[in-house]
């Protein structure tokens, strides 16, 4: 059970009090990949924090005082300082807290990481058509798909509307006969992963009946 396994706060909920000293607060949602970034950094750096999950379909009125558009993730510290945009929040944590630095020290290597992130967004944004190659499925869609099929097992489609084009692409891909024919059963995949991470050699045959 992770430390963010709490019910969301929605409309009509009481606003949370000030953030206690020595802690930083994250406004989050358990399935949001953007908030997930920030949770990863908090975890990796061992930063003491508390999580408040927000009901994104029924946002509390008070939440708009934390973010003008009610987005997540948002960090709030005991000085009432608010930081939003997942990448900015992650960099803030790396800068503000001691211990292991996640961004490299070398300025060129830092720049390289930022260029790679930009590439990631460009891939997401490269779609001005349903598929990455145009209006019909083509090679590039098949080349990307395996990673997104696996991510889809974790339900990113349920999340915030950050990447509507990507969600549309995932839905369109699932209608492709080829993709359908080879779609991995979610439970079998999860069963495999479970055994795989335990280094169990039976992982590879999970789900086969014989």
Closest CA to 63 of 104, 10, 106: 10
Residue pointed to by tokens 């598929």: 131
Output the CA angle 109-43-159, nearest 5 degrees. 90
Question: What's the min distance (Å) between Cβ of 67 and another protein?
Answer: 10
Closest approach of another protein to the CB of residue 66, in Å: 13
Residue 114 in the binding site for another protein (CB under 8 A): yes
Q: Does the footprint of another protein cover residue 91 (CB under 8 A)?
A: yes
Region near another protein per CB under 8 A, out of 50-58, 76-84, 134-142, 198-206:
76-84
Instruction: Report the distance separating Cα 117 and Cα 114, nearest Å.
Output: 5
DSSP string, 54-108: B-TTS--GGGGGTSTT--S-EEEETT--EEESHHHHHHHHHHHS-SS-SS-SSHH
150 near another protein, rule: CB under 8 A: no
Residue 14 beta carbon to another protein: minimum distance, rounded to whole angstroms: 26
Residue 80 binds to another protein (criterion: CB under 8 A): no
Binders of another protein in range 163-182 (CB under 8 A):
none
**Token pair in block for residue 116:** 């790679």
Q: Which residues of the chain form contacts with another protein (CB under 8 A)?
A: 77, 79, 81, 83-85, 88-89, 91-92, 95-96, 107-108, 110-112, 114-115, 118, 122
């Amino acid at each position: 059970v992770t430390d963010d396994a709490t019910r969301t706060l929605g409309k009509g909920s009481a606003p949370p009090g000030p953030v206690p000293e020595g802690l930083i607060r994250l406004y989050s949602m358990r399935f949001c990949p953007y908030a997930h970034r920030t949770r990863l950094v908090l975890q990796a750096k061992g930063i003491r924090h508390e999580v408040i999950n927000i009901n994104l379909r029924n946002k509390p009125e008070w939440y708009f005082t934390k973010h003008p558009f009610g987005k997540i993730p948002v960090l709030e510290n005991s000085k009432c300082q608010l930081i939003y945009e997942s990448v900015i929040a992650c960099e803030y944590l790396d800068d503000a807290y001691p211990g292991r630095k996640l961004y490299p020290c070398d300025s060129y290597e830092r720049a390289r990481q930022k260029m790679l992130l930009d590439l990631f967004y460009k891939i997401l944004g490269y779609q001005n058509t349903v598929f990455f190659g145009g209006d019909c499925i083509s090679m590039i869609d098949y080349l990307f798909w395996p990673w997104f099929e696996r991510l889809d097992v974790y339900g990113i489609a349920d999340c915030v509307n950050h990447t509507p084009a990507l969600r549309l692409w995932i839905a369109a891909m699932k209608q492709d006969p080829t993709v359908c024919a080879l779609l991995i059963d979610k439970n079998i995949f999860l069963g495999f992963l479970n055994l795989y991470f335990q280094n169990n050699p039976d992982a590879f045959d999970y789900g086969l009946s014989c």
